[in-house]
Chain A
């Protein structure tokens, strides 16, 4: 049955949208990422206007992250303090990101900015994760587990040190705030939660223990995507509640199954799978940049 979306002003098949939400929700629960980097391109490909795809994806990520975060919270795999500090940076980043979004759209280079930053970001993050998870898997097979060394880098010489009990860290608040800010920008301009940046940043930069990474990143994603939804609804009127409802119902159910599958896989295997997924999306977007387009012309309605 077709259903009409009041803000996107188009008809969609409800089962297709429900299925999209479910598939992305499953991945989100499994990896502890929002899944926006898959859902936004998927919606645009389906014909949803990109502004509405970006904004509405945010609310889908909020919902699927909630059920994931509660599941992690029950396992006490969540550092609330770290999540709060990162969210503070994230909120500032969201405000800046929405401003940047409007500015770049006026220049007509929004698509280029989004595609190139997706390619760069996903390429770097994907390659790093692939490398790390392959060597971790090799080490596990060889029987020698790589010891987690507490390396002291310049990050540990920054001021404003705070103790994060659940993460067993005593570090400055500056790196988490900066990471949060950066992810807030991504949330606003790409319609992503930013899990594919936060998770590796927590593991490799902050050196948080892997078991609290999932829950904490989900917590930060909830705060930032809720803020993005609010900002997009009030500045661009681009949040479609009917589309959001369908995506969310599919998403929350999918996320529950994702969390179960994720719990059965080892951390290294999870990261290997996520790395492959990230690289696949990266390559797809890269091809979009270098291959001659079917039609060099594009049309957009002036607001």
Chain B
């Protein structure tokens, strides 16, 4: 998925006619998001400018932030002998773990479906890198998008890109508390008359810090001592509490 998107961006850059001098510059309000103990989600701002703007048509900006790819299993329940059990399933490989899109207009009015598909623009056009299923994978893909949307991990905001001047724009991207850690990519597309004429990609890192990070590392690097510490903590707290409450007997 990521590789395809990168290839598409490269293609678009190479295909940009030398005459079209419009170019994009973009940046992020922060290039790392650090998750600490009081982290409840934040907003990052993607901003940018169109350079050498010639007013020859309707310019549209699309901002897409993608999380690291993950492999997910989608299962469908069916009624068997009165009980609802998991029957059919589809494995969708390399789906973005996070996806947020902001655009100047509703995306189906920006470009033709195959263009959107090529760049992976819009929730309808996020496709897995590979599918393993005996069934039509589309309902499973739709279910996955719906689930992640409910968790706030997928989102789409038509009109989420605001122009501060004819060339300056910005978009707010929500980063909820449940986002997975890893390398994200913030992509900015400049579209005119249904074609992508410029694209930019900036990495964004989301990571845990401080005590959270140390606990996470502790759990994964020395699981035996981590488990033992948890058990000891449980025993100690149980014992301390019965000492405290003893006097009340």
Contact = CB atoms under 8 A, between A and B. Distances in A.
Interface of A: 1-4, 6-7, 9-11, 59-60, 62-67, 70-71, 74, 108-109, 111-112, 116, 222, 226, 229-234, 237, 239, 241-242, 244-245, 248-249, 252-253, 255-256, 289-293, 295-302
A299 B74 contact: yes
Contacts of B32: none
Contacts of A6: 208, 211-213, 215-216, 219
B39 A4 contact: yes
Nearest to B36: A4
Interface of B: 35-41, 70-79, 82-86, 89, 91, 97, 139-140, 143-144, 146-148, 177-178, 180-181, 208, 211-213, 215-216, 219-220, 223-224, 226-231, 233-235, 237-242, 245, 249
Given A59-B230, A66-B242, A108-B89, A3 B75 contact: no
B117 to A, nearest CB: 22
A299 B144 contact: yes
Contacts, number: 189
Nearest to B214: A6
Residue of A233, A244, A299, A301 with most chain B CB atoms under a 10 A cut-off: A299
27 contacts: A1-B38, A4-B177, A6-B212, A7-B216, A59-B231, A59-B233, A64-B238, A66-B238, A74-B249, A112-B83, A112-B86, A239-B219, A241-B215, A241-B226, A241-B230, A241-B233, A248-B238, A252-B238, A252-B240, A252-B242, A289-B84, A290-B82, A295-B143, A297-B140, A298-B147, A299-B72, A299-B73
A239 B230 CA distance: 8
Given A233-B219, A301-B97, 10 more contacts: A6-B212, A6-B219, A11-B178, A63-B235, A63-B238, A233-B226, A239-B219, A252-B241, A298-B86, A299-B73
B86 A299 contact: no
Contacts of B230: 59, 229, 233, 239, 241, 244
Contact of A112 (B85, B146, B178, B240): B85
B217 to A, nearest CB: 9
Nearest to A244: B230
Contact of B242 (A67, A222, A242, A245): A67
Given A70-B242, A302-B71, A239 B227 contact: yes
Residue of B140, B219, B229 with most chain A CB atoms under a 10 A cut-off: B219
B72 A237 contact: no
Contacts of B39: 4, 11
A108 B75 contact: yes
B235 A66 contact: yes
Contacts of A229: 227, 230-231, 234
A234 B223 CA distance: 5
Nearest to B213: A6
Given A4-B37, A301-B70, A301-B71, A290 B84 contact: yes
A298 B238 contact: no
Contact of A299 (B85, B148, B233): B148
Contact of A71 (B72, B227, B234, B242): B242
A300 B228 contact: no
Nearest to B73: A300
A66 B86 contact: no
6 smallest CB-CB distances across A and B, nearest first, come from A66-B238, A233-B227, A297-B143, A252-B241, A11-B177, A63-B234
A288 to B, nearest CB: 8
Given A256-B245, A290-B84, A301-B72, A60 B228 contact: no
Contacts of A9: 178, 180-181
